């Protein structure tokens, strides 16, 4: 039935009608807040390229976690900045590492907050790559051994979900095996399955001081020209035991979120990464866009594409805004 019988504008006449027929919803319960933890005490240092986000010492982090929980945000994802970096990223898997220490403290003092840990070596290696370097390249299978140790140490310290972000082949299977062998068979894995080699990670690398010191990550992270390959990555990770699949970044990759959700019908997380956050914040600061409105529009687009979970530096801002509505 065409115009004039059909008039699409009838149901757009007011907000009650619009709300009644809205197809997608954004809730604070969809959001996960990324947080950076560093050594020291009483430290809360704003990350210049990510205004409103901080490097925090464990004591400050614990208080922040309580505020986040009280806002209704269901969880955080933790990234660590170690005291020292070295060739093998030893700060990543020791029981006294920064993440392990933070985890134990959060688990003791903050209840009802899901803590996801990022498993990767780049924040801990002196060369800034996500694995062990042999003859100038990241060695896949040697890296798997260290990632497995890191995952197990997070599990022992109380992580609620393990999230490998390194993009080595076979890591999900290795991590599943070591968790299962150590009585952690109930611990879920959120796999960064389709993780692209992206310039949108710039501000994160400032925050974690983790930019590669030579070369780039193109030999392990995906080429942004590809999408069938993302489906192969996802299929492999599901077969190795991934419980939730991540697509990262999110905004320039909504087609990937859509294809993954449509094809596999598994829980999908979108990572709205640091550069996506920085672009919006910078334009808003200049007064060129309305930051809050663009933020909501972007978060809705991820839900519309098929994301169940959104990991975003906007989590706190969005939670406050959604509370007011």
Contact 99, 138 (CB under 8 A): no
Q: In angstroms, give the least distance from the CB of 108 to ligand PBG.
A: 26
Per-residue mark of binding to ligand PBG, 70-109 (x: CB under 6 A):
----------------------------------------
Long-range Cβ contact pairs of 132-137 (< 8 A, separation 24 or more) = 132/87, 132/88, 133/87, 136/214, 136/215, 137/219
Q: Which is nearer to ligand PBG, 113 or 116 (CB)?
A: 116
- Residue 9 DSSP symbol: G
Q: What SS3 class is residue 221?
A: coil
Residues whose CB is less than 8 angstroms from the CB of residue 241 and which lie 6 or more positions away in sequence, other chains included: 172, 173, 176, 189
Q: Note whether 233 binds ligand PBG by CB under 6 A.
A: no
Q: Alpha helix (H) ranges present in the chain?
A: 15-20, 58-70, 98-109, 140-157, 171-181, 202-208, 228-240, 254-264, 274-285, 291-305, 315-324
Query: Among 62, 57, 54, 60, which Cα is nearest to 35's?
Result: 54
Q: Which is nearer to ligand PBG, 260 or 278 (CB)?
A: 278
Contact 92, 146 (CB under 8 A): yes
Q: Note whether 305 binds ligand PBG by CB under 6 A.
A: no
Which positions are catalytic?
195, 248
Q: Note whether 124 binds ligand PBG by CB under 6 A.
A: no
Q: In angstroms, give the least distance from the CB of 197 to ligand PBG.
A: 8
Q: Note whether 316 binds ligand PBG by CB under 6 A.
A: no
Q: Note whether 253 binds ligand PBG by CB under 6 A.
A: no
Query: Among 274, 299, 307, 312, which residue sits at the site for ligand PBG (rule: CB under 6 A)?
Result: 274
Query: Among 122, 174, 193, 307, which residue sits at the site for ligand PBG (rule: CB under 6 A)?
Result: 122
Query: Among 23, 94, 6, 26, which Cα is nearest to 270's?
Result: 26
Q: Note whether 53 binds ligand PBG by CB under 6 A.
A: no
Alpha carbons 240 and 193: distance in angstroms, whole number? 11
Q: What SS3 class is residue 105?
A: helix
Query: Sign of dihedral through CA atoms 273, 278, 279, 280?
Result: positive
Q: Note whether 194 binds ligand PBG by CB under 6 A.
A: no
| Residue range at the interface with ligand PBG (CB under 6 A); choices 174-182, 197-205, 279-287, 288-296 | 197-205
Q: Note whether 191 binds ligand PBG by CB under 6 A.
A: no
Query: Among 31, 49, 113, 118, which residue sits at the site for ligand PBG (rule: CB under 6 A)?
Result: 118
Q: Which is nearer to ligand PBG, 68 or 130 (CB)?
A: 130
Token representation of residue 226: 């590809």
Q: In angstroms, give the least distance from the CB of 316 to ligand PBG.
A: 15
Q: In angstroms, give the least distance from the CB of 4 to ligand PBG.
A: 49
Query: Among 26, 32, 37, 130, which residue sits at the site for ligand PBG (rule: CB under 6 A)?
Result: 130
CA separation, residue 149 to residues 165, 175, 238 (Å): 15, 8, 21
Q: Note whether 201 binds ligand PBG by CB under 6 A.
A: yes
Contacts with ligand PBG, residue ranges (CB under 6 A): 118, 120, 122, 130, 165, 201, 204-205, 273-274
């Amino acid at each position: 039935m065409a115009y004039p019988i059909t008039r699409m504008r009838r149901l757009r006449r007011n907000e009650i009608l619009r709300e009644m027929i809205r197809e997608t919803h954004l809730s604070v319960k969809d959001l996960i807040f990324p947080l950076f933890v560093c050594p020291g005490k009483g430290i809360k240092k704003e990350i210049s390229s990510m205004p409103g986000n901080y490097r925090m010492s464990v004591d400050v982090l614990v208080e922040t976690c309580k505020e986040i929980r009280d806002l209704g945000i269901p969880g955080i994802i933790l990234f660590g900045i170690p005291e020292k970096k070295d060739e093998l990223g030893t700060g990543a898997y020791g029981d006294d590492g920064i993440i392990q220490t933070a985890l134990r403290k959060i688990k003791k003092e903050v209840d009802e907050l899901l803590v996801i840990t990022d498993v990767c070596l780049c924040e801990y290696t002196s060369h800034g790559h996500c694995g062990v370097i042999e003859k100038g390249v990241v060695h896949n299978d040697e890296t798997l051994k260290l990632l497995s140790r890191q995952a197990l140490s997070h599990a022992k310290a109380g992580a609620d979900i393990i999230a490998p972000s390194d993009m080595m082949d076979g890591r999900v299977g290795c991590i599943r095996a070591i968790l299962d062998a150590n009585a952690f068979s109930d611990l879920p894995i959120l796999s960064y399955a389709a993780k692209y080699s992206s310039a949108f990670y710039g501000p994160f690398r400032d925050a974690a001081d983790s930019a590669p010191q030579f070369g780039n990550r193109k030999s392990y992270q995906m080429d942004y020209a590809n999408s069938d390959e993302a489906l192969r990555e996802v299929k492999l990770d599901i077969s190795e035991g991934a419980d939730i699949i991540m697509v990262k970044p999110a905004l320039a990759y909504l087609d990937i979120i859509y294809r993954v959700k449509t094809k596999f019908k598994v829980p999908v997380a979108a990572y709205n990464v640091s550069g996506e956050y920085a672009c919006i914040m910078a334009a808003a600061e200049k007064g060129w866009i309305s930051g809050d409105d663009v933020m909501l529009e972007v978060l809705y687009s991820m839900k519309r594409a098929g994301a169940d979970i959104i990991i975003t530096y906007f989590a706190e801002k969005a939670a406050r805004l959604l509370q007011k509505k």
